[in-house]
């Protein structure tokens, strides 16, 4: 059994550096938060979950169907899900390129449906980059103020050239992600 999902990775050094600066600032607020490691930064397009190995091969076939151009996306602003008063996830937003990522996500869902692969359906997919998960209520007011103050922060521009099928290996220190298949996007 493997726990799998489909994503696009964030790896432009300037973007990653700015994200790490914000994550360090979040940790300094002494809010119970588990931030995302730099090597794990990604936008999830579809979460499939625990599957047998043969379904991993089927997911690779589905991903081969994904065609499209590379995407330029601008990371801009931070916020929280479900909302700023009861945050469970702190995220960086996507401004420029958001529509292209939404179209890519729809292609991924469509391919998964054609190959009869179950996945967690997103009602309103909003491209975002998870920065951290909140594990309690301590100093939530500090967090809310920080998010409001950084609502318009600019992280930089990322060029997404690959869609990846990834395995999530859960460990006590957090997940380790392993690429199982990479589908290139055109120029």
What are the catalytic residues? Answer: 42, 128
Helices (H), 139-180: 140-149
Give the residue from 99, 121, 124, 103 showing the smallest Cα distance to 112: 121
Q: How far apart, in Å, are the Cα atoms of 21 and each of 18, 108, 155?
A: 5, 32, 10
Query: Residue 112 half-sphere exposure, CB side, CA atoms within 13 Å?
Result: 22
CA distance 3 to 7: 13
Residues 6+ apart with CB under 8 A from 10: 16, 19, 41, 42, 43, 75, 129, 158
């Amino acid at each position: 059994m493997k726990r799998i999902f489909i994503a696009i990775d964030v790896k432009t050094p300037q973007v990653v550096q700015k994200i790490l600066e914000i994550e360090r600032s979040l940790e300094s607020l002494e809010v119970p938060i588990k931030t995302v490691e730099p090597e794990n930064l990604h936008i999830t397009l579809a979460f499939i979950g625990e599957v047998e190995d043969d379904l991993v091969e089927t997911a690779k076939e589905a991903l081969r169907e994904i065609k499209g151009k590379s995407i330029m996306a601008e990371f801009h602003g931070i916020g929280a899900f479900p909302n700023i008063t009861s945050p469970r996830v702190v995220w960086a937003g996507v401004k420029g390129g958001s529509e292209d990522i939404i179209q890519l996500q729809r292609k991924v869902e469509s391919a998964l449906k054609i190959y009869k692969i179950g996945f967690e359906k997103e009602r309103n997919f909003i491209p975002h980059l998870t920065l951290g998960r909140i594990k309690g209520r301590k100093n939530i007011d500090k967090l809310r103020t920080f998010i409001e103050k950084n609502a318009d922060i600019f992280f930089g521009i990322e060029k997404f050239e690959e869609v990846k099928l990834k395995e999530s290996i859960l460990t006590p220190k957090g997940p380790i992600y392993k690429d199982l298949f990479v589908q290139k996007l055109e120029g």
